[in-house]
Amino acid sequence: MIILNKEEMKRAVTMKEAVNLASEALRLYTSGKSNIPLRTGINIEKSNGNALFMPGYVDEIHAAGIKIVSIFPDNHKIGLPAVPASMILLDANTGVVSAVMDGTYLTQLRTGAVAGCATELLSRKDSKIMALIGTGGQAKAQVEAVLSVRNIEEIKVFDLSNDEAEAFASMLRYELKDFQGNIKTSKTSVECIEDADIITTITTSKIPTFDGSKVKLGAHINAMGSYTPDSRELDEVILDRASLIYLDTLDGVLSEAGDFIIPMENKRFSKEKIMGELGELILSKTKSREDENQITVFKSVGTAVLDIVTAKGIYEKAKNMNMGREVTL
């Protein structure tokens, strides 16, 4: 098997290639060509953490694997990532492990990529202003993904900590060397989303991150952070105003995302308003934006099909490029 680190993975697959892999993954999932159980979560209360186990098999590309991702918020106190993860890819012919790779970077890449896929399919093609709410470990990939599919001229950043928002904006200015637009921070979420064509939220918030009544007509929203029944980034107002609502996986979102579970329990939202899975749009089974004033929403809680398809793509390119450290157990 080979071991791949973050830098090798970055060299193997670009963000635009990852967006295409995400599209392929959702197509395969919605087509019924994968076996993806809902993830298993285990509370580790003594350490204020959660461990998530995400296995699956994708028949058409004959790939199997499991991602183990943990959420340990206190890790920053000891200089470790708050969301450490590892991806194990199996040779589906033999069951032998073919690769172990950095699951933290894989999560960042595929989560950004699936938002990029939704943005490409649902946002206005003339979108110029992106609003980003949340500046954690997955935020940069969200920006990179949107930039890979739209000609953005301004990025507005908001975080509950203004210092963290400023630090993140400075990092973007330094690392996005090809971006010629303006990157600035906002004091409030209302200021951040004002005039935004694309709004991306990437938080673990327990309460809605912005006022849905302030979203301009024609905007597209990627809700990428919340993934538990008691967390939410979207309020009922934006769900009511949205013309099109798409999900990465119907079962996953309706069983895990408080964005929908809470308003449904309060009789403030009906699942009948959901257009379907993004894979259905990729397969041309449902409709996309029909006019410039429609508000569109994409909600993702993550799914192992994204990890497996993306990991397989990285593995194959890395092998062709003679990257990775080969080990034998």
Where are the domains positioned within the chain? 2-106+305-326, 123-301
| The domain made up of 123-301 is a member of CATH 3.40.50.720 | yes
Q: Are 224 and 302 in contact, with CB atoms under 8 Å apart?
A: no
Q: What is the pLDDT of residue 263?
A: 96
Residue 105's pLDDT is what?
A: 95
Exposed/middle/buried for residue 7 (C-beta within 10 Å: 0-12, 13-18, 19+): exposed
Query: Which phi and psi (to 5°) does residue 198 adopt?
Result: -130, 125
The residues with which 43 forms a beta bridge, in sequence order, are 50
Q: Active-site residue 285, yes or no? A: no
List of the chain residues with pLDDT < 70: none
Residue where the block lists tokens 């079962």: 251
169-192 per-residue burial string, b: 16 or more CB within 10 A, e: under 16 = beebeeebeebeeebebbeebeeb
CB atoms within 10 A of CB 78: 7
pLDDT of residue 58: 96
pLDDT at residue number 47: 92
Check residue 125 and give its pLDDT: 97
Any bridge partners for residue 66, and if so which?
55, 88
Q: How large a percentage of the chain has pLDDT more than 90?
A: 91
pLDDT at 274: 97
CATH number of 2-106+305-326: 3.30.1780.10
Structure confidence at residue 202 (pLDDT): 97
Predicted pLDDT of residue 215: 98
Among the listed residues 46, 67, 125, 273, the single catalytic one is 67
